Structure 1
Amino acid sequence: MIRKLNRIFQDYMREKRLKFGRYIWDRKKKKEEIIEGNFIEKNSINSILFLRYDGKIGDMVINTIMFREIKRQYPNIKIGVIARGAAKEIIKNNPYIDKIYNYEKNSKKIKELSKEISKEKYDLLIDFSEMLRVNQMLLINLCKARYNMGLNREDWKLFDKSYSFPEGEFHIVEVYKKVLEEIGIKKPNLDYDLHFTEKEKQDVEVLLNKFKGQEIFVLNPFAASKHRDFNREKIQGIIDIILKKENRIVFLIGEKKRGEEIENIIKKYSENVFFAKLGSIMETAFLIKKADFIITPDTSIVHIAAAFKKKMIAIYREDLDIEVKNKNLWSPNYDEAIQVFSRDLDVKKGEEPNINKFKLKEIDKIINN
């Protein structure tokens, strides 16, 4: 009861903070008129700043479409990206990005960052947030770009240009395509775009060198939410299914903090099952590129695998309205990937469904046929 009351109070206060924040920051000193036609060309856009402060790896993977397609058509446009956490790793080697800015959730740091950015005088700022928090309003206001563009911001003074979601069911790439078309990039290539250093490639090649001629499976048992983590029974069940056939190697991937948990799980197997102790998300991405088959409940890994059109089983929940939407919005979106659904028929109202309600027989049928 106390928890519920606290959640209600926090939701109430969040709404008040957002209203007050908008009152302070939803303003722009200089609103420039937009010349219709090709937005980039007609409005002399020479620099674009992308706001990706959410730290989401999967979103950043998809965003790589935009960096490449803009630079291919307009190679002299400067592209900057505000990012944080592991999402920065996704773009650190990207040849289409000129500058990466580090975002920290701290008002003082945000003001310092926006002051630095404002001196660079970006022509266009593009934000991807569905809901703007106060610190994000502050950042956009103080960056002082000539034009600000955001999602469903028609009634905001801070924004000059707005875009909306496509109608009906759609995949997330359609949003990025729509934004590109809004600014003047027609018929973009929608393939994701990841780049690796020679060291990242070499470290993974060394790991795989002794398994030449064997089929490499990458199993990612964990996701951002504990409700989407595979349990031990399901992890070992999937491994057993993979090892039904010879010449197969299984690499489990996960954050270092899950290392002990993974090691305990694979103790059962004397050979052919390993914890891939890799140094970064990009080394993990290169392992996925080199692998033959991927299994994951996590959309970050789904989108990394999608960059290379790998054979994959992506496991989703199909119990809540939002999950039904997610299975389309965040699907792998290519023929070599198969979605398997967990249906938690025992979930109570207000509780999160358990992803471990999928059937191992379904996994077996896909992998061993």
Structure 2
Amino acid sequence: MTKPVTPTAPAKDWKKKRRFRQAFARMLQKVGKRSARHADFDGRLESVAILAQEKLGDAILLTPLIGNLRRAFPELSIHVIVFSKAVFDFFSSDRNVTAVHNAKRATPGYIRDVLLHRFDLLYNTKDHPSTHFLIQSILIPARIKAGIANPFHEGLYDQLLDITYHTHIVTKNCALLGLLGIDAPPETCRPYIPEMRVQPELQSFADSMPDRKFIGINISAGGPLRYWTEEKWSALIDRFPDRQFIIFSAPQDRATKLRLETRTNVRPSVSTRNIYEVGLLVRKLRLLVTPDTSLIHVASCFAVPLIGLYREALQDLTRFAPYITDHTLIASPTRKVCDIYVDDVARAVEARLDVRQEI
């Protein structure tokens, strides 16, 4: 007889949190009910409040919606409601955004500018029940409230956009444009990175890089299951002794970056301090190899070819895939990126180099 598998503690915690969110959403559906109309938006559009998701990659994938809104409505007041400092800093640099507000800081300014202000339109970008997002959806006054269709969103929004779960997040965010009668072909939905402060030494390094000569390697990731190992990165670099590489890393992985930069075919690079600086280097690459993290979407901003290393997780491979840029995705046979074989990545690099000939 097979012994049943006992769920791990993290899995139990995740299921417990999901049950809580669903129960909380059911309660809100009773106390904050609105009549879903499922009709086209009509009337004036002078102000919009957008609830932005918490991670930096999510912020990049939200920029196509914001850029298209600004082009369609040059005088529109666009307010982005955020739930993390990283996303606050990102949109604070975006000239397309009128104001950024941190929902987790109920300051007098937030109360005055958001909770006591009536918007023409509010948009919740999440397609699943989120406690913070649902609370803000109810608290923030708006003539029309829109969200993604989900059983736990029913009754809380005037407009529910029916989009399948595995649709790319860019397409999902930009679904609001259809509600407003805005035609947005895929190329108009390319993500962008707002201009930020640049270190002089970083700018000099970027200016010194020849276009389309370097292969970029990003060794950092958003969680332990998404990391490839230092040994495998080393082996990959050694497979291409005649190619030049540069290494990207988060601050916590700088020691690994420095060790990899001792190789003769790796050019030591200035450590970046923000995602805009990362973009200055990525845009000049011939190819980027990276785990599933925000650099996937940085490459999409500049149509840089890339190889993405993903876990065995369908939603990562669909919802958060590279957007309108040449790419190869390599999925691990397990839930860990570190189980991807060096041979598989090397073959993908060779194929990409053959496709894009030397300039």
TM range (shorter): 0.7 to 0.9
Q: Name the aligned partner's letter for residue 192 of structure 2.
A: D
Matched, 1:156 2:160: no
Partners of 2:38 and 2:159 within 8 A in 1: no
Structure 1 counterpart of 2:66: 67
Uncovered stretches (5+) of structure 1, i.e. residues with no partner: none
Deviation at 1:280, TM superposition (A): 1.1
Deviation at 1:62, TM superposition (A): 2.0
Instruction: Give deviations 1:95-127, integer Å, cap 9, x for gaps.
Output: 2110111243xxx74898356402232111100
Q: Name the aligned partner's letter for residue 339 of structure 1.
A: T
Instruction: Give deviations 1:175-210, integer Å, cap 9, x for gaps.
Output: 23322101221235222232324x428553212345
Deviation at 1:368, TM superposition (A): 4.6
Partners of 2:93 and 2:194 within 8 A in 1: yes
Matched, 1:297 2:294: no
Query: What does 1:255-334 correspond to in 2, within 5 Å?
Result: 255-267=250-262, 269-270=263-264, 272-317=266-311, 319=312, 323-334=313-324
Q: Residue 157 of structure 1: SS of its match in structure 2?
A: coil
Partners of 1:81 and 1:100 within 8 A in 2: yes
**Alpha-carbon distance in 2 for matches of 1:324, 1:33:** 31
Instruction: Give deviations 1:307-341, integer Å, cap 9, x for gaps.
Output: 11012222223x4xxx2343233222435x22141
Q: Residue 291 of structure 1: SS of its match in structure 2?
A: coil
**Alpha-carbon distance in 2 for matches of 1:194, 1:232:** 29
Structure 1 counterpart of 2:357: none
**Alpha-carbon distance in 1 for matches of 2:23, 2:309:** 38
- Residue 294 and residue 88 in structure 1: after superposition, are their counterparts in 2 closer, same or farther (change >3 A)? farther
Q: Name the aligned partner's letter for residue 261 of structure 1.
A: T
Partners of 1:26 and 1:158 within 8 A in 2: no
**Alpha-carbon distance in 2 for matches of 1:242, 1:147:** 56
Matched, 1:251 2:246: yes
**Alpha-carbon distance in 2 for matches of 1:111, 1:25:** 28
| Deviation beyond 6 Å, 4+ runs, structure 1 | 32-35
Q: Name the aligned partner's letter for residue 182 of structure 2.
A: I
Q: Name the aligned partner's letter for residue 328 of structure 2.
A: Q
Q: Name the aligned partner's letter for residue 301 of structure 1.
A: L
Q: Name the aligned partner's letter for residue 264 of structure 1.
A: R
With normalisation by structure 2, the TM-score equals 0.82
How many pairs are equivalent? 344
- Residue 286 and residue 5 in structure 1: after superposition, are their counterparts in 2 closer, same or farther (change >3 A)? closer
Structure 2 counterpart of 1:353: 336
Q: Name the aligned partner's letter for residue 11 of structure 1.
A: K
Q: Name the aligned partner's letter for residue 65 of structure 2.
A: M
Deviation at 1:26, TM superposition (A): 5.3
Question: Alignment partner for residue 366 of structure 1, among 347, 351, 358?
Answer: 351
**Alpha-carbon distance in 1 for matches of 2:108, 2:267:** 48
**Alpha-carbon distance in 2 for matches of 1:272, 1:110:** 48
Matched, 1:101 2:95: no
Structure 1 counterpart of 2:194: 195
**Alpha-carbon distance in 1 for matches of 2:128, 2:102:** 21
**Alpha-carbon distance in 1 for matches of 2:321, 2:23:** 34
Partners of 1:289 and 1:310 within 8 A in 2: yes
Uncovered stretches (5+) of structure 2, i.e. residues with no partner: 355-359
Deviation at 1:21, TM superposition (A): 5.6
With normalisation by structure 1, the TM-score equals 0.80
When the two chains are superposed, the root-mean-square deviation of aligned CA atoms in Å is: 3.3
Partners of 1:220 and 1:297 within 8 A in 2: yes
Instruction: Give deviations 1:137-172, integer Å, cap 9, x for gaps.
Output: 2222221222221111576333111112148x6433
% same residue: 17
Structure 2 counterpart of 1:76: 75
Partners of 2:38 and 2:158 within 8 A in 1: no
Partners of 1:295 and 1:314 within 8 A in 2: yes
**Alpha-carbon distance in 2 for matches of 1:288, 1:313:** 13
Q: Name the aligned partner's letter for residue 148 of structure 1.
A: K
Partners of 2:81 and 2:101 within 8 A in 1: yes
Structure 2 counterpart of 1:232: 230
Matched, 1:338 2:323: no
Of residues 151-160 and 71-80 in structure 1, the stretch that sits farther from structure 2 once superposed is: 151-160
Partners of 1:27 and 1:158 within 8 A in 2: no
Deviation at 1:49, TM superposition (A): 0.6
Q: Residue 290 of structure 1: SS of its match in structure 2?
A: coil
Deviation at 1:28, TM superposition (A): 4.0
Q: Name the aligned partner's letter for residue 330 of structure 1.
A: F
Deviation at 1:301, TM superposition (A): 0.9
**Alpha-carbon distance in 2 for matches of 1:23, 1:308:** 44
Deviation at 1:252, TM superposition (A): 1.3
- Residue 265 and residue 91 in structure 1: after superposition, are their counterparts in 2 closer, same or farther (change >3 A)? same
**Alpha-carbon distance in 2 for matches of 1:221, 1:36:** 46
